[in-house]
Amino acid sequence: MAQYIARIIRAIVVGALGFGGGIGLLIIIIFLTVKGDQNAFEYGVKWGFEIGMVFAILMVAVLLPLDLLLRMNRAKGEHSQLWELEQSRELIFEGSSKEAMAACRKALLMVPYVHQVSDDTEHLTARASTGASWRSPGEDLEVEINPISENKWQVKCVSRSRSKNVVFDYAKNFENVETWFKGIQEPNDPPHHTPPKTVA
């Protein structure tokens, strides 16, 4: 939770200064070059500050509550670490490596907006990418299958935002790994699993 709050504060400060500062600089240039107004700097600072504040208020009053609402609604109190953009789930799968890979691939295909799935049977990994949605510019998912004993595998799925500049994902990565986790447990491919664990 502390990392989530720190990330939001940093994004608000950087966004407000960057957006407001850019507009303020543009206003200074316009007033100096077009009108030759000696008060251009004062106008630029004033307008830049006000626009930066509007941007910050928009993030705090609209985007942040929406992100929190969707995260808490998806988690339903079952996950204590739902605040990070990168989400993961783990389980124990019993069966052959071929069965594990097939189950992982099928579960990845259930993820919303997924449009590309590939697997590497030699290294026992599978990858998928999702298209853009109103919540995110897209995510990358990766599944690793590691042997525990004969016909017993530890399977981990990680979902992360494709862009490093994402501040809010509105629980999209959370939804991705939850969809995968539920999909791999369908009756057609019943693994024995441990409770899901979220990695911060």
**Which pLDDT belongs to residue 48?**
87
Place of tokens 């990070």: 84
Q: For residues 104 and 119, is the Cβ–Cβ distance under 8 A?
A: yes
> Residue 144: what pLDDT?
97
Q: Specify whether the CB–CB gap between 141 and 108 falls below 8 A.
A: yes
What local confidence, expressed as pLDDT, does residue 36 receive? 79
Q: What is the CATH number of domain 87-184?
A: 3.30.530.20
pTM of the model: 0.73
The pLDDT, as a whole number, for residue 77 is: 57
pLDDT one digit per residue (tens) for the chain, 200 residues: 677 777 788 778 888 888 888 888 888 888 888 877 778 888 888 888 888 888 888 888 888 888 888 877 777 655 656 778 899 999 999 999 999 999 999 999 999 999 889 999 999 999 999 999 888 899 999 999 999 999 999 999 999 999 888 888 999 999 999 999 999 987 554 444 444 443 43
Domain ranges of the chain: 2-75, 87-184
User: Helix/strand/coil (H, E, C) string of 90-148?
Assistant: EEEEECCHHHHHHHHHHHHCCCCCEEEEEEECCCCEEEEEECCECCECCEEEEEEEEEE
Sheet holding 139-149, edge to edge: 87-94, 152-161, 139-149, 125-130, 114-120
pLDDT of 175 reads: 93
